Amino acid sequence: MTKPKVKEVNAQTGEEIIRDATAQEIALYEAEQAFEASKQAEATAKAAQRQALLTRLGITEEEARILLGGN
């Protein structure tokens, strides 16, 4: 596996430097990716639960909003 690269740009001069990522940067990136994946999995699970409830009640999402007074 090749080591990830980091692009740094000097805001004053516009100079770009591309360097190897540090172990800390790699760990932070991986932690962020895992967090985003867990948020997506949670959202998918909630959507499935919501759909299962609507199916069990035999109503559509729009009908549920009307019943609950939502827009």
pLDDT tens readout for residues 3-50: 899 999 999 999 999 999 999 999 999 999 999 999 999 999 999 999
Q: What was the pLDDT predicted at 36?
A: 98
Question: In the block, which residue shows the tokens 């100079």?
Answer: 15
Three-class SS state of 28: helix
Distance from the Cα of residue 28 to its chain's centroid: 15
Q: How far apart are alpha carbons 32 and 70 in whole angstroms? A: 34
Contact 16, 7 (CB under 8 A): yes
Q: What is the pTM of this model?
A: 0.65
Q: How far apart are alpha carbons 11 and 69 in whole angstroms? A: 51
